[in-house]
Amino acid sequence: MKRLIFLLALALAFSSTATAVTYPVQSGEPVILAVGGSFAYARDNRGRIYVFGDNQYGQLGNGSLRQSFEVREFKSSRAELDTAQILDIVPASDYSFLWMKDNSLWGAGNNSYLSLGVKGTPHKTHVLMPLEADLKDLKTGFGHVLALTQAGEVYAWGRNNRGQVGNGNRKNTLTPYKLPLENIVSIAAGGKFSLALDAQGTLWGWGDNEFRQLSPERKTDFTSPVRVDYGSIDIAALDACGASVVLLDTQGVLWTWGRNDMHQLGYDTGGALTTQPASVDLPGKVVSVAAYSSQTYAILEGGALWSWGNNSYGQLGHGYRSAASQGVLPGKAWDSDVVLVMGGSLFVVAMTGDGSLLSAGISKFGQLGHGDSKSRYSLTPTGIDLIVP
């Protein structure tokens, strides 16, 4: 039996394909950073919520489909939604959820794949999702959603074209499906696949297997959970890129496998996929990771931020952009004091210990939080501070 150790400090700052990361502060509410496909939410320690970026599907939840480069304060038109009761904000590719302290979920944005658990698309204000569960975690992929309960159960719904819901078929799923898994302690959502780790150390996966991230078997999809072989790694946390798996062990070492055409695994395979975990060579222990699509960000002890993978719009923060077909191996994006980081589609947002937000990458929709459409290849302060004295 594999030994399984969970580190609380890592759990606070670990993000999957899309989910929020939080940071406890001495005074006020925990800071929340929630970066989606081309948009972002951020809550400061006084409870003020900022929204910026793409809103073409209403994913900012402000009652409009109007685009704006401005950073705005989030206010809901729904009287029953008390923003002071928000426990977490969970973004996705083009939709978002507000997770309330009473465990209710409210979703907004693109609902083409039934990701919001209700009918109709799009929803420009948050609508109540019919999921009654004592939630422990919520993860989103490119159209599908995973929910982990305090009892160790997993529910899935939404986009299911590759079997990522795990219900044995490929039809988009409106009603949350309870998977035949027990004692699950952690979940992660890739672009079109899903992962769940149980208390005995067994890793389960289902959905897209095109790049052999779930099994070396030459089977494109698994529509029901299968065991994923990861060797003898002592897992502290798990994550996923679009089509690759990221594991963080209890010694602060990252292990990756799957798709690697953009060096998103953090090492060179000549663009070939891998079916077995290999470690990423970094100059220190990793304390948190954010993987999204084909790029990965890692915060090391001391707060240095390293990044690798797709850099076509400078989203790695290395000071330059790369050709669209050329990935980048690990390099330093920021020297120290980074405490939160989240990647979106072709951009990244990070926060330093004093609450200052930094961003880099594409800004077509104003998703960098600078109030304009100018791309930035280095991490640049946005002027937004999430820790207010």
Which single residue is written with the structure tokens 């077509």? Answer: 364
Supply the CATH classification number for the domain 8-385. Answer: 2.130.10.30
d(CA 38, CA 35): 8
Question: From the CB of residue 302, how many other CB atoms can be counted at a distance below 10 Å?
Answer: 12
pLDDT of the residue at 22? 83
For the chain, percent of residues with pLDDT exceeding 70: 95
Where does the pLDDT of residue 325 fall: very low under 50, low under 70, confident under 90, or very high at 90 and above? Answer: confident
pLDDT at 7: 32
Q: Average of pLDDT values for 319-329? A: 94
d(CA 273, CA 281): 18
Read off the pLDDT of each residue in 106-130 and give the average, rounded to a whole number.
95
Confidence (pLDDT) at 229: 97
The pLDDT tens digits for 260-282 are 999 999 999 999 999 999 999 99
Q: Give residue-wise pLDDT tens across range 177-193.
A: 999 999 999 999 999 99
Residue-level pLDDT at 324 = 86
Q: Residue ranges of the domains in the chain?
A: 8-385
Can you say how many angstroms the Cα of residue 151 is from the centroid of all Cα atoms in its chain?
23
Percent of the residues in the chain that have a pLDDT greater than 90, as a whole number: 89
pLDDT band, residue 77 (cuts 50/70/90):
confident
pLDDT-based confidence at residue 2 (cuts at 50, 70, 90): very low
Is 64 within 8 Å of 75 (Cβ atoms)?
A: no
pLDDT at residue 112 tops 60: yes
Residue 13, strand partner residues:
none
Q: CA–CA distance from 348 to each of 34, 166, 230, 256 (Å)?
A: 11, 30, 29, 20
Q: Is-contact 83 72, C-beta < 8 A?
A: no
